[in-house]
Structure 1
Amino acid sequence: MSETLTAAVTALNEKLAGEGFDGTAKFVLGDEGSLMIDSDGARIGDDDADVTLSADVDTFQQIFEGETNPTNAFMSGKLTVDGDMGAAMRLASLLG
C-alpha cells in the first residue's frame, strides 16, 4: 500500500469530518493508485464511481491541503473529471 494513498485517505477523512459523501467518487493519483469517497468516507480502492477525478499526486496534495481550489485545477487542465459533473461539484464544495 502506498504511503501517498494512505496519507491522502487520512487527509480526506479529516477534511470530511465524518460527513461522508452522498455518491461515489474515485480519485486517480497518477501512478500511485486510486482512492474512493462515499457515504462512509475515504478509503483506498478502485471501484466504479459516479465521478472519477484524475490528476498527479502534487495537484491532489494541493487540493487536499486547501492550497488549490478544485475548480481552478480543473479549469487549468491539471484535474480531469469523467462522469457526473454534479457529483464533482458537490465534492468540490465539501473539500473546498
Structure 2
Amino acid sequence: MGMDAIAEKVKSRVATSDFSRSVKFDCGEDGVIVVDGSSVSTEDSQADCIISLSRNDLEAMIAGELDPTAAFMQGKLKVDGDMTVAMQLSQVL
C-alpha cells in the first residue's frame, strides 16, 4: 500500500473526529503523512508532534494489527514533540 492509500484511510478516520492538533508520520524514504485537524496530506510540513516509524508499521497500526502503545514500547516508533497529541490521535486511529 502506498503512502497516498494510507493517507486516505487516515483521512476517513479523522474526518469525523474532533482531533484539532497536527501530527506528522515520518516514514523516512517512503515519505510522510501530515494530519492537521481533519485534513491529511502527504506534503511535508511542521507539526505539533512527529511520529517516526516504518511504512509497514504505520500500515499495521492503521489496520488495527499493531497497537500504538506496544509499538512505542517495542521501539518500533519514536515520538518527538508533544506526546499528548500522539495519544489523542491514537484514540482516533
Q: What is the CA distance between 1:86 and its match in structure 2?
A: 0.7
Structure 2 unmatched runs, 5+? none
- Structure-2 separation of matches of 1:17 and 1:89: 17
What's 2:89 paired with? 91
Compute the TM-score of the two structures, normalised by the length of structure 2.
Answer: 0.90
What's 1:31 paired with? 29
Structure 1 unmatched runs, 5+? none
- Structure-1 separation of matches of 2:37 and 2:53: 23
Compute the TM-score of the two structures, normalised by the length of structure 1.
Answer: 0.88
Single out whichever of 43-52 and 19-28 deviates more from structure 2: 19-28
The structure, 1 or 2, with the larger RCO (C-alpha pairs under 8 Å, 6+ apart) is 2
The total of aligned residue pairs comes to 93
> Percent sequence identity over matched residues?
33
The alignment's C-alpha RMSD in Å is 1.5
What's 1:43 paired with? 41
